Amino acid sequence: MYFATIGVGILLLAGLWTPVAGALQAIIEVWIFFSRGDGANLHLLLAALGVSLVMLGPGAWSVDARLFGRKRIDIRAR
């Protein structure tokens, strides 16, 4: 379990496979939340951050942006 958490953290720091790593982080944190009762608020917060990384995607300086290009959505007011 700890090796998976460290691996996900390294992937997120590097910005590599960001949606996959964010989903794995959310799954791991929800698993920890249900298996242990201590520090429940922290694990729910980290799971929410993982889900938000899945939806937002990688940042501008990430490895994913260099490999696959940055996708930017412009919302214009009418």
- Write out 23-50 in H/E/C secondary structure: HHHHHHHHHHHHHCCCCHHHHHHHHHHH
Q: What is the pLDDT at residue 10? A: 94
CA dist 32 and 77 (Å) reads: 42
How would you write the pLDDT of the chain (78 residues) with one tens digit per residue?
789 989 999 999 988 999 999 999 999 999 988 898 677 789 899 999 999 998 888 887 888 888 887 777 778 877
Q: What is the pLDDT at residue 58? A: 83
Contact (Cβ atoms closer than 8 angstroms) between residue 34 and residue 43: no
> Collapsing DSSP states into helix, strand and coil, what is residue 61?
coil
Q: What is the pLDDT at residue 27? A: 95
